Amino acid sequence: MNSPVTSILAAASPGLIEQIGLFFREGGVFMGMLGATSVVAVAAILFKFLTLSRGRILPADLARDVESFESLIRNKQVAPVLERFEEGESTLARLCAETVRQRGKPQSEIAEPVQALARAEIVRLHSGMTAIDVVISVAPLLGLLGTASGLVVVFSGLESDADWLMITAGIGRALKTTIVGMAIAVPAIIAQGFFQRKIETYAARLEVLLTSLAHLCERSPRLGEVEPAKTD
């Protein structure tokens, strides 16, 4: 049996759906373009949420291991951490693996290949941000273009005995694309700021960890030759 809430929603849905459909139909072709833009925005935001997850960039447990790397070397427990570096399942692991490969060299020589890889990793972190930037620029412009084209249609038939109520209604319909364009751009701007701040935070934290690891690699030329602990 249907619940009272379900019955109410079922009764209200046709009218609501019809109003929504009318709203978007009145926007014409530009409303369709805005719909496609909103799909791109949602896809790009979801993509960034997935790719900027902490586990993919800076796993907390691996960061702790890098911070305590010197004590792990002293206790000969570094082998499992080195294996995680080589697996390269996160940005931190890949950068640390490259740092360890340069062990025994002066820090200036260690820094050059690590910085080159870090630049590539930062580019990877920014993947998808271009789509969000495009949405922020294009959505309001499409909205304004739709409004302008609607106003041209409204005023092109303007005569001395024009029905001003009809003109006012036409202007209201023309402004709908501007509303939708702004409604798409505002969440995209918020998402852009959030993701950009997240990338900057990750980059700063990675720099600190890699600098400390580079100091250890400079002083420990046999770092990668530590024998793994034997297990029964």
Angle at 54 between CA 53 and CA 60, to 5 degrees: 165
Residue 17 has pLDDT above 90, yes or no: no
Identify which has the larger pLDDT, 21 or 231. 21
Predicted pLDDT of residue 13: 52
Alpha-carbon distance of 214 to 96, in angstroms, equals 9
What separation in angstroms does the CA of 81 have from each of 32, 74, 99, 142?
A: 52, 14, 13, 51
Residue 206 — pLDDT band, cuts 50, 70, 90? very high
Q: What is the pLDDT of residue 12?
A: 47
Looking at residue 222, its pLDDT comes to: 59
Are 73 and 226 in contact by the 8 Å Cβ rule? The answer is yes
d(CA 196, CA 45): 12
pLDDT single digits (tens) 44-91: 999 999 999 999 999 999 999 998 888 888 888 888 888 999 988 999
* DSSP code, position 78: -
pLDDT of residue 223: 57
Q: What is the pLDDT of residue 150?
A: 76
Looking at the predicted structure, is the pLDDT value of residue 145 above 90? Answer: no
pLDDT at 169: 65
| pLDDT tens digits, one per residue of 105-139 | 887 888 888 899 999 999 999 999 999 999 999 99
Q: For position 161, what pLDDT does the model report? A: 59
More confident residue, 151 or 39: 39
154-200 residue pLDDT tens: 677 666 555 666 666 667 777 888 888 999 999 999 999 999 999 99
Rounded Cα distance between 228 and 206, Å, is 26
Q: Are residues 176 and 207 in contact, defined by beta-carbon separation less than 8 angstroms?
A: no
